[in-house]
Amino acid sequence: MPPKRAAATGATAPSASKQTTTRRAATAPKATAPKPAAPKKTAAPKKAAPVKEATPKKTAATKKAAAPKKPTAASRKKAEKNADESDKENKADRAKVNGTKRKRDAEVEEPVDGQVEGDVETETERVSKRAKKSDKTAEPAKKRKAAAPATKAAPKRVARQLKVINEAPTQVMDIFVFGEGTAGELGLGSVRVDGKKPIDVKRPRINHNLKNIVQVACGGMHVAALTKDNKILTWGVNDQGALGRDTTWDGGLRDVADDNSSDGEDDDDTGMNPKESTPAEIDTSNIPEDTKWVQLVASDSATFALTETGQVYGWGTFRSNEGILGFNRSVMVQRTAVHVPELSKIKQLAAGLNHILALDEKNKIYAWGAGQQAQLARRLLERDDTAALFPTSIGSLPGRAKAEKIVCGSYHCFVIDSKARVIGWGLNNYAELGVEDEAGQDGGYVLRPQLIKSLADYEVAEIAGGEHHSLACTKKGELLTWGRIDGHQVGQPSESFSEDNTIWDERNKPRILLVPTIVPDIKDVVSVAAGTDHSFAITKEGKVYSWGFSANYQTGQGTTDDIESPTLIDNSAIRDRKIIFAGAGGQYSIVGALPLDFVLSVALTPDAEWVLSGSKDRGVQFWDPRTGQTQLMLQGHKNSVISVAPSPVPTPNGGYFATGSGDTRARIWSYTRLDRRP
């Protein structure tokens, strides 16, 4: 069996030079190491007691001032002179400060390409220094603390009124899961259901714990989902607070006597923490009660949520090559949702393994998290690694591009602009950006956003990134892949690799596909998704294809062997379903399908010319009773149509009917007979 792997093993980018590689007739550039084994999660680890934040010291009470003496004529004259001099000094100081601020803003707004480490301080460092000079009594923070979970629900705050700039998704999906699941990332709970274990799910299985889901975000080993009634559900690994709620559990230990008394049958209980492996709502104690969510994203150990007014909330932590980096500059692990005050008017979020992007309504992109592989599009100072945790603009995009979509791979980033062009930056040692420069070399990366020339001939509709590979679909329905090859991540047949587009290893095997290449034999692709080393493509007919690393059944093909090329997932659970979503982590995957449609109500018009039906798909259909064929479909409700009632008295040209829906609204419709239409 191939080694198991997970996305949550750390943020270190594997070296690209463990094996000597070469293009034919070229000197040997280097490629990287074999895939690491995935850690197996067993019983729930004991949780460390949360450390409370240090409370600021109270300053001494101010002494009561003595009553002022009545000023003399001489003292009044002296005071007026001093006031004039002080006013002049203040004006000069304000002018100096304003000039410094304008200069500082300009520096932060447009990072300089190719800056040398240590030559520029961050905005936060300058603000901190000024604060220390102006306030000598302030206590410096000695050590960042882990955020303590809320012990008592505080009264709900009401969000200040802000302009609505985002809309929440409304299309409900049925959720199907597959993969390993030993970390609870499948959300199936901790015990058998109908004789089926909640782990090692070989093919798509519907998750009955998830209802009315409109959006799903897949992290390394945890998942977040948004419901139609505005709840955020989370499940999976919560070691660093990624679930945004308390999952403390006293279980995990089994009585030896109970084990000895069993008769050899498998226990229904897997030993997983049921509070982690079962979807549940996040702690909302720090969130205003009228907050409405529109998007979720998940990294390896953190989750972020976007509101309809462009505000961002988050919880969890970021990890760097050295371990836990922190959630922000003052908190190491944030276990409940908190507002990110540095961001406003955000339109879209994207998450990599340990970094986040945010796009605002003025076309600015902010980046924060771990940035050792250039994911943040800026150089970082070694003396202050927490500076990376401050959301900072990446600067202007090349070619005056207007960003439409932002996307993250594990260590690299993409932007699709309004002209369907692609811009990228970040790690490129496996040519995952589609840039040939430095591909196959240790530490190969692109520091600043640049137009991806290898995609210039395509109108890209969607793009996705894995750990060391990427894929995209065009507006024509073409599927493109590029990057690492050795685990069949790109899904290309052997004839796709040539001396011009491929780096070969010392055994003369293809190692890196340097440029985006069309995958043959699959067409009409409308959506793509990537896990760590496996991928998905969805066609306009709602069929889903998978390929790549499959050691944990994450391809949904029922095997632990790698899937070499895009292969239809065809099991009874989803065979007749229309798939509209796919997402993946390291060792699990999720697909979403349109709900099954069924008729909820039927009625006959008084003249017996029409049969009316109301359906779960929110539509009203007119049927010809003589042929049984649908003649017309109407839509206007936002939920299932649960009743239809024609008027008993027809009009000369047709009639009226009323409908009732799960959206709590009733509607009145009119219709005209076919033979009476002009």
Is the model's pLDDT at 640 over the cut of 90?
A: no
What is d(CA 338, CA 672) in angstroms, rounded to the nearest whole number? 55
Q: Same domain for 194 and 296?
A: yes
Which has the minimum average pLDDT: 73-87, 213-227, 389-403, 603-617?
A: 73-87
pLDDT digits (tens, 9 = 90+) for 480-498: 999 999 999 999 999 999 9
Tell me which of 384 and 92 has the higher pLDDT: 384
Q: How many CB atoms lie within 10 A of CB 80?
A: 9
- The verdict on residue 663 lying in a domain is yes
How is residue 20 written in tokens? 């000597």
pLDDT digits (tens, 9 = 90+) for 166-177: 999 999 999 999
Could you tell me which residues come within 8 angstroms of residue 610 by beta carbon, excluding any fewer than 6 positions away?
604, 622, 623, 624, 625, 631, 671
What is d(CA 276, CA 295) in angstroms, rounded to the nearest whole number? 22
How is residue 595 written in tokens? 């709900």
3-state secondary structure 108-140: HHCCCCCCCCCCCCCHHHHHHHHHHHHCCCCCC
Confidence at residue 502, expressed as pLDDT on a 0 to 100 scale? 97
Confidence at residue 270, expressed as pLDDT on a 0 to 100 scale? 81
- The verdict on residue 402 lying in a domain is yes
Q: Please state the separation of Cα 473 from the chain's center in Å.
A: 19
Which has the minimum average pLDDT: 397-401, 499-503, 637-641?
A: 637-641
Question: Is-contact 379 385, C-beta < 8 A?
Answer: no
Pairing of strands 641-646, 654-661: antiparallel
Categorize the per-residue pLDDT at 650 as very low, low, confident or very high, splitting at 50, 70 and 90: confident
What is the average pLDDT value for the chain, to the nearest integer?
A: 81
pLDDT digits (tens, 9 = 90+) for 291-328: 999 999 999 999 999 999 999 999 999 999 999 999 99
Confidence at residue 609, expressed as pLDDT on a 0 to 100 scale? 83
Is the model's pLDDT at 102 over the cut of 50?
A: no
Q: CATH no. for residue 523?
A: 2.130.10.30
DSSP 311-327: -EEEEE-EEETTEEEES
How far CA 578 is from CA of 213, 471, 538, 540, in Å, comes to 15, 22, 10, 9
pLDDT digits (tens, 9 = 90+) for 318-365: 999 999 999 999 999 999 999 999 999 999 999 999 999 999 999 999
- The verdict on residue 49 lying in a domain is no
What is d(CA 355, CA 373) in angstroms, rounded to the nearest whole number? 10
Q: Same domain for 219 and 349?
A: yes
Q: Is residue 245 left, alpha or beta, with left meaning phi > 0 and alpha meaning psi from -120 to 50?
A: beta
Tell me which of 163 and 126 has the higher pLDDT: 163
User: What's the domain range around 493?
Assistant: 174-251+265-593
pLDDT digits (tens, 9 = 90+) for 248-304: 998 765 444 444 443 334 567 788 999 999 999 999 999 999 999 999 999 999 999
Q: Same domain for 322 and 196?
A: yes
Confidence at residue 385, expressed as pLDDT on a 0 to 100 scale? 81
Question: Is-contact 522 501, C-beta < 8 A?
Answer: no
Q: CATH no. for residue 647?
A: 2.40.10
Q: Same domain for 571 and 640?
A: no
Q: What angle do CA 568, 569, 573 make, to 5 degrees?
A: 145
Tell me which of 287 and 62 has the higher pLDDT: 287
Q: Same domain for 475 and 400?
A: yes
What is d(CA 209, CA 301) in angstroms, rounded to the nearest whole number? 23
Categorize the per-residue pLDDT at 675 as very low, low, confident or very high, splitting at 50, 70 and 90: low
Question: Is-contact 397 377, C-beta < 8 A?
Answer: no
Domain count, the chain: 2
Q: How many CB atoms lie within 10 A of CB 85?
A: 9
- The verdict on residue 64 lying in a domain is no
Nearest CA to 554 among 592, 585, 523? 585
DSSP 409-469: -SSEEEEEETTS-EEEEEE-TT-TTS--TTTTSTT-EEEEEEE-GGGTTS-EEEEEE-SSE
Question: Is-contact 204 569, C-beta < 8 A?
Answer: yes
- The verdict on residue 157 lying in a domain is no
Question: Is-contact 354 11, C-beta < 8 A?
Answer: yes
Q: Same domain for 203 and 318?
A: yes
Is the model's pLDDT at 639 over the cut of 90?
A: no
3-state helix, strand, coil in the chain (%, to 5): 10, 35, 55
pLDDT digits (tens, 9 = 90+) for 658-674: 999 988 889 998 887 76
Is the model's pLDDT at 573 over the cut of 50?
A: yes
DSSP 187-241: ---SB-BTTB-SS-EEEEEE-TT--SEEEEEE-SSEEEEEETTS-EEEEE--TTS
Confidence at residue 56, expressed as pLDDT on a 0 to 100 scale? 41
How is residue 235 written in tokens? 């499940």
How is residue 481 written in tokens? 């892949």
pLDDT digits (tens, 9 = 90+) for 370-405: 999 999 999 998 778 889 999 999 999 999 999 999
- The verdict on residue 634 lying in a domain is yes
- The verdict on residue 665 lying in a domain is yes
Question: Is-contact 350 357, C-beta < 8 A?
Answer: yes
Which has the minimum average pLDDT: 120-124, 385-389, 532-536?
A: 120-124
**665-674 contacts, C-beta under 8 A, 24 or more apart:** 665/637, 665/638, 667/636, 667/637, 669/620, 669/634, 671/610, 671/622, 673/607, 673/609
- The verdict on residue 424 lying in a domain is yes
Last residue of a domain, one of 593, 621, 650: 593
**246-254 contacts, C-beta under 8 A, 24 or more apart:** 246/149, 246/275, 246/283, 246/335, 247/44, 247/273, 247/275, 247/276, 248/47, 248/275, 249/44, 249/273, 249/274, 249/275, 249/276, 251/44, 252/43, 252/44, 253/43
What is d(CA 184, CA 271) in angstroms, rounded to the nearest whole number? 11
Q: Same domain for 411 and 453?
A: yes
Q: How many CB atoms lie within 10 A of CB 340?
A: 20
Confidence at residue 635, expressed as pLDDT on a 0 to 100 scale? 78
Which has the minimum average pLDDT: 31-35, 352-356, 610-614, 617-621?
A: 31-35
Last residue of a domain, one of 593, 626, 652: 593
Tell me which of 110 and 660 has the higher pLDDT: 660
Q: What angle do CA 9, 31, 382 make, to 5 degrees?
A: 55
pTM: 0.71
Report which residue type is found at 201: V
User: Beta strands of 251-309 (E only): which ranges?
Assistant: 280-281, 293-298, 302-307
Is the model's pLDDT at 57 over the cut of 70?
A: no
Categorize the per-residue pLDDT at 9 as very low, low, confident or very high, splitting at 50, 70 and 90: very low
Confidence at residue 462, expressed as pLDDT on a 0 to 100 scale? 99
Q: Same domain for 639 and 588?
A: no
Q: What angle do CA 101, 104, 110 make, to 5 degrees?
A: 140
Q: Same domain for 582 and 651?
A: no
Q: Same domain for 375 and 431?
A: yes
Question: Is-contact 446 424, C-beta < 8 A?
Answer: yes
Nearest CA to 661 among 636, 643, 635, 646? 643
Q: In the predicted model, what is the mean pLDDT of residues 620-638?
A: 82
Confidence at residue 415, expressed as pLDDT on a 0 to 100 scale? 99
Report which residue type is found at 333: V
Site of tokens 């390896």? 300
Q: Same domain for 582 and 639?
A: no
Q: Same domain for 543 and 614?
A: no
Last residue of a domain, one of 567, 593, 619: 593
